[in-house]
Amino acid sequence: MNEPPAARAPIFVCGMGRSGTTWISRALGQSPELTYIQEAWLVRKLDELAAWFETLHDEWTGFTPWRHSGIDRSVFVDSLARCYRELLDRAAQGNRFVEKTPEWNALHLGFLQEMFPDAYYVLVYRDGRNSVASQEVKNHNERKSFDFATACRRWAGAMDAFSASRKRRPERRLTLIRYEDLIEDFDASFRELCAFAEIEPFHAVPHRPNSSFAEADGPADFNNRWQAWSPEKRRTFKQDAGRQLVEWGYVPSNDVW
């Protein structure tokens, strides 16, 4: 079966919070060829539903019609994908859409690709120490609870999901963008992104990167926020996410940070 043309293939932006997903998605949404529909917040629930269906299919065989009628996980996921795609298309009023749900798209990337194998995936990542530091301050400013160790593990889990995705996806439908490269040269990174998405190149007006830090905290240096951490926090991050930090090139394996 032929792949759908790029003019119809959706674009999913995947990344953890405070890693540039909004920055990228808003910029892409300035293209007349695309509609940025913001955050759907459904993929985790759909993944859970697919897992529940597997239980019904494999274990509840005496009570459900699924196994003996030939309806397996692949059929069920295909049905979910058609429904979800219809909803997303409606949100975009039938246009080619860009969707990003921070954390959920990244942590459930395998399932998202199972539903939409022909979509384009933009994986945005950032030094996990700065991502976690920014999230912590954001939650503090909004008076929300924050579990530091959990945030470290979630960043590590997203990077493992990205690694797995790189091994199973063709390069033509998946690209990686470093947040630090956006900070250094947004225009160059965005030109490459337009070519990847197969849209006409254009000059996007970049929004200023989100920052949870007040101006009193000093200049907008987005690459050293974590350096104010206590020794305990540094040990926690290194224990829970140090391997991924090394694998993704943020520190050499023998670096003491």
| CATH code for the domain of 79 | 3.40.50.300
Residue 235 lies in domain: 11-208+222-247
Buried/exposed code over 232-247 (b: 16+ C-beta within 10 A; e: otherwise): ebeebbbebbbebbee
Number of domains in the chain: 1
Whole-number pLDDT of residue 7: 67
Q: What is the pLDDT of residue 219?
A: 40
pLDDT at 252: 87
User: Over its length of 257 residues, how does the chain's per-residue pLDDT go in tens digits?
Assistant: 454 456 689 999 999 999 999 999 999 999 999 999 999 999 999 999 999 999 999 999 999 999 999 999 999 999 999 999 999 999 999 999 999 999 999 999 999 999 999 999 999 999 999 999 999 999 999 999 999 999 999 999 999 999 999 888 666 799 999 999 999 999 999 999 999 999 999 999 866 665 544 443 444 566 688 998 999 999 999 999 999 999 999 998 777 66
How many Cβ atoms from other residues are within 10 Å of residue 12's Cβ?
25
- The letter for the amino acid at 230 is S
Task: Report if residue 50 sits inside a domain.
Answer: yes
Q: What are the tens digits of pLDDT across the range 114-135?
A: 999 999 999 999 999 999 999 9
Backbone angles phi, psi at 123, to 5 degrees: -100, 110
Establish if 165 belongs to a structural domain: yes
Please count the other Cβ atoms lying within 10 Å of the Cβ belonging to residue 208: 7
Residue 255 pLDDT:
75
Quick check: is 74 in a domain?
yes
Residue 159 lies in a domain: yes
* Contact partners, residue 65, CB within 8 Å, separation at least 6: 71
The verdict on residue 213 lying in a domain is no
> Whole-model pTM?
0.91
> Does 215 fall in a domain?
no
Residue 217 lies in a domain: no
The reported pLDDT for the residue numbered 253 is: 78
